[in-house]
Structure 1
């Protein structure tokens, strides 16, 4: 009869410890030390799950994540590609070849972008936007 109680107690202690240490601090230890920023909804939801099951550990999870800054997205995470390299994706008629653009982005940034997705919204640029990047309209 003692073994089931120890098993249940062990599971309960493990669950409480994971909630007390907070989700964001466990999953993203590199985010600690931030003061503010955009809140990561995934971490906020995981902390809120702790509120559903255990009020006090859920509040502690939120408090730890806000105090350490682990609940915020990393600031300044941007990706940039040299505009000269992007010229290869533009055809003579001024239209962009999505396959060439996708290859350039994957090579330069190391990430895959679904440029063939039908939900992708493409907008036309203006001469002012090109001038902002130091480019001349060539079409």
Structure 2
């Protein structure tokens, strides 16, 4: 009986550790470069550190590298706001749908009828910032 309980606890600990990686729990967060750290993911990775040092360190390294430890749509920890917002939408937006999304995010009416809007697909959030920096550079 005690052997069965010990095995059940071991399986629960291993399952918790395997699920502790933010990359597994939140694959949609990949590519974030900074933000507020998700306490849940950090705690689960910490459990991995507590029971299994090397896999716990690897879980933290993978989560920081992929950006999955950061909460979505949060500004960086030091308070800097880069002004970017990530909004999920379907790929074939009409100009009216785009205008509605922007109005909702900004909180005030906008007129895109005279705007020069260009659509691009970005692999991750970091590449968006790089593209904007190259376009606005003198």
How does the TM-score come out when normalised to structure 2? 0.43
Ranked by relative contact order (alpha carbons within 8 Å, sequence separation 6 or more), the top structure is 2
TM-score, normalised on structure 1?
0.43
